[in-house]
Amino acid sequence: MDIEIKLPDIGIDQAEVIDILVNVNDVVQKEQILMIIEGDKASMEIPSIHDGIIKEIKVKITDIVRKDSIIFIMEITKNTTLSPDNIIDNTMLKCDHTESLFYASPLVRRLARSLEIDLKNIIGSGRKNRIIKKDLDNYIIQNNILDHHTKSSKSQDNIIEDFDFSRYGKVDQINLSKIKQISGNLLSKNWSNIPHVTQFDYVDITDLESFRAKYNKTFINSKKIKITLLSFIVKAVVRGLEKFPYFNSTISVKNKIIFLKKYINIGIAVDTDHGLLVPVIKDVKNKNLSDISNEIFKKSQDARKGKLKISDFQGGCFTISSLGGIGGTFFTPIINSNEAAILGVSKFSYKPIWNGDSFIPKLILPLSLSYDHRIIDGAEGARFITFLNQLLSDTRLLLT
Ligand code: CAO
């Protein structure tokens, strides 16, 4: 039976959806956190009040929701006992203890989860029986819970959240920007859910950079937009994705399927004052170096001015993160969900390379390729980065 899941009375007029923690077809359990919303002063996790399957997600991140906004359609699984409150009407999801939906701040929920405390064992003393930190602390003391957890790594997080660093010196407290909150959640989810392997390589781009410099001097277009190193890397990646289709795929573990995409859209990580954004350059197969350079330039400008639309972030197949203009040698980029790999580009520099007779200076570009080991094995990863290396170190191969 499908039912509408409505937002319960959260004690404020409206709130913004800042994270959705489930996908369509996910099997969820009662009390599992489904989404996080944020009002003017606080954020709140919205748990499921049923065991079931998510059939439809009726909201998206940044949507404003109010009491009784329909947030999900859920199929109630067999074992759930339906009460009149479960049926579609405005009494659904009332916050009371018989429905096991507890008022508690995300901090309290996190602390309780990390100490494996079931909130239904605690009687809240706050407004509307809200379980406040003091209730949790009392429960922990009464039940000697910390004694059992002091050595666990999970409790380290709680110690940091509650730790008073000002004991040791002056401390500034900075609120996380919305972008950092959202990207932080995604990054930690991707980092912990996807088994990453990162393969490194040095690429000799001496000829490529000399070709690019000559080209830019001779053919710079009327808008004075140069062709960039990044656009050549995009072109090499396109060829790589065509030759190694599993790098252009998405895995569905639940359905035991890998989707191989026939289109190629490349996400470009852009550093902005508010955090990392990844606009997507669409249909790169049919764009030339100049088009790609212009589009990366325009999208990165728009990202920094906050002018990108939601559609600019959608449909990515593979991401490139270039820190080359900044510095560093090699890093371990994190794969975006729905993608199989990401290429990190670091700062090129001259290195002495032995040619059999003597050392000669060559311009060397460090590349770092992270891939999803569920989809791609080590040999395929090495073949992919070697192929990129061949293309970028021989401009004739890349441009034919
Ligand atoms: N090595 C050394 N110098 C490099 C370089 C490299 N790999 N790549 C670019 N440069 C230098 C060059 O001097 C270049 O100028 P010329 O083209 O005239 O030689 C200059 O940097 C600017 O390069 P560009 O215009 O091609 O810009 P870019 O490709 O370096 O970067 C963009 C564009 C949007 C990717 C970048 O501005 C950016 O935001 N990078 C950060 C991405 C990021 O934060 N990733 C981290 C994600 S994980 O947290």
DSSP track, 298-322 = HHHHHHHHT---GGGGSS-SEEEEE
Q: How far apart are CA 281 and CA 66, in angstroms?
A: 35
Q: What is the pLDDT of residue 37?
A: 83
CA nearest neighbour of 332 among 368, 386, 367: 368
Tokens linked to 170: 């002056």
Q: Which atom of ligand 1 is nearest to the CA of 226?
A: 17
Alpha-carbon gap, residue 321 to 300, rounded angstroms: 12
354-385 b/e (C-beta count within 10 Å ≥ 16 → b) = eeeeeeeebbbbbbbbbbbeebbeeeebebbb
SS3 helix, strand, coil % of the chain, rounded to 5?
Answer: 35, 25, 40
Q: Is 89 strand, coil or helix?
A: coil
CB burial class (10 A; 0-12, 13-18, 19+) of residue 24?
exposed
Tens digit of pLDDT at every position of the chain (400 positions): 899 999 988 888 888 887 788 899 999 988 888 887 877 767 788 888 888 999 999 999 889 999 999 999 999 886 554 443 433 333 333 333 433 456 676 667 777 877 778 888 888 887 667 787 778 877 887 776 765 554 444 444 555 666 788 888 999 989 888 888 888 999 999 999 999 999 999 999 999 999 999 999 887 656 677 999 999 999 999 999 999 999 999 999 989 999 999 999 999 999 999 889 999 999 999 999 999 999 999 999 999 999 999 899 999 999 999 999 999 999 999 999 999 999 999 999 999 999 999 999 999 999 999 999 999 999 999 999 999 999 999 999 998 8
Angle formed by the axes of helices 106-114 and 133-142, nearest 10°: 20
Which residue lies with its CA nearest to atom 7 of ligand 1?
324
What stretch of H or E contains 72?
A: strand 70-76
Which of 180, 198, 230, 319 maximizes ligand 1 atoms within 8 Å of its Cβ, making it the mutation to test the pocket?
230
Q: Which of 202, 228, 273 to mutate for ligand 1's pocket (most ligand atoms within 8 Å of CB)?
A: 228
Q: Which of 50, 149, 274, 373 does the annotation list as catalytic?
A: 373
Alpha carbon distances (Å) from 214 to 204, 208, 230, 381: 18, 10, 16, 33
| Contact (Cβ atoms closer than 8 angstroms) between residue 10 and residue 67 | yes
**pLDDT for position 141:** 75
The neighbouring-strand residues paired with 319 are 267, 342
Q: What angle do the packed helices 154-162 and 106-114 form, to 10 degrees?
A: 150
Residues in contact with ligand 1 (CB, 6 Å cut-off): 226, 228-230, 268-271, 276, 300, 321-325, 333, 345, 347-348, 365
Ligand 1 center–CA 6 separation, angstroms:
46
Phi-psi domain of 168 (left: phi exceeds 0; alpha: psi -120 through 50; beta: other): alpha
Tell the residue nearest (CA) to atom 46 of ligand 1: 321
How many of the other CB atoms lie within 10 Å of CB of 27? 13
33 Cβ contact partners less than 8 Å away, ≥ 6 residues apart: 21, 45, 46, 47, 48, 109
- In angstroms and rounded to an integer, the radius of gyration of the C-alpha atoms of the chain is 26
DSSP letter for each residue of 191-250: HHHS-EEEEEEEEE-HHHHHHHHHHHHHH--TT-PPPPHHHHHHHHHHHHHHHSGGGGEE
Q: Please identify which residue in the block is written with the tokens 């929701």.
A: 65
Ligand 1 center–CA 320 separation, angstroms: 11
| 227 Cα–ligand 1 center, Å | 12
Q: Compute, in angstroms, the gap from residue 346 CA to the centroid of ligand 1.
A: 9
Alpha-carbon 302 to chain mean position: 20
> In the annotation, is 274 catalytic?
no
> Distance from the CA of 301 to the center of ligand 1, in angstroms?
13
> What is the per-residue pLDDT for 194?
97
Distance CA(119)–CA(107), nearest Å, equals 13
